Amino acid sequence: MDWDYLTVYQALVARNERQKGSKTDQYVTLYQPQPLGKNCALLYKPGSARYSEAPVHLHSWSIPPRENGPPRDYWQDDVFLKIKPTIEFVGQDKPHKPFQSFSHYRVLDWNRFAEALGLEAADNDSSVRSSV
CA 8 to chain centre: 10
- Quote the CA–CA distance of 97 and 104 in Å, as a whole number: 15
- Average model confidence (pLDDT) across the chain: 81
CA dist 98 → 30, 36, 71, 125 (Å): 21, 20, 12, 39
- Contact in structure between 40 and 34 (CB atoms under 8 Å): yes
pLDDT score at 127? 46
> What pLDDT, on the 0 to 100 scale, is given for residue 50?
87
Look at residue 129 in the predicted model and tell me its pLDDT.
Answer: 47
Pick from 62, 54, 41: nearest CA to 116 = 41
More confident residue, 46 or 31: 46
Length reported for the chain: 132
Q: What is the pLDDT of residues 62-118, one digit of tens each?
A: 666 666 555 666 777 888 889 999 999 999 886 666 667 888 999 999 999 999 999
Compute the average pLDDT of residues 25-41. Answer: 78
> What is the number of H-type helices and E-type strands within the chain?
4, 6
